């Protein structure tokens, strides 16, 4: 299992302890943010490459 499969994010919080609702996942790829959000985490996008964030719905 690899990212962005929701199970990888769930596994991380299970191993590290915090509830998913209290985790902010920060990434430079939109697919990574979508995976974290689908697993119940908050997500923050860092634009390091001049590529705007586009969510699954195109926004």
Q: Provide the residue ranges of all domains of the chain, joining segments of one domain with +.
A: 6-45
Peptide bond into 55 cis (omega under 30): no
**Rounded to two decimals, what is the model's pTM?**
0.80
Is the confidence at residue 18, as pLDDT, over 60? yes
Residue 28: predicted pLDDT: 93
Q: What angle do CA 21, 23, 25 make, to 5 degrees?
A: 125
According to DSSP, residue 15 is labeled H
Residue 58: predicted pLDDT: 58
Is the confidence at residue 43, as pLDDT, over 90? yes
Residue 55: predicted pLDDT: 76
The strand ranges marked E within 1-59 are 24-27, 42-45
Three-state DSSP class for residue 1: coil
Is the confidence at residue 57, as pLDDT, over 80? no
Mean pLDDT of the chain: 91
Is 23 within 8 Å of 13 (Cβ atoms)?
yes
């Amino acid at each position: 299992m690899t990212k962005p499969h929701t199970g990888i994010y769930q596994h991380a919080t299970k191993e590290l302890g915090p509830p998913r609702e209290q985790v902010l996942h920060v990434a430079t790829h939109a697919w990574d943010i979508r995976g974290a959000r689908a697993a119940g985490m908050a997500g923050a996008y860092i634009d390091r490459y001049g590529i705007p964030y586009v969510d699954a719905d195109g926004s």
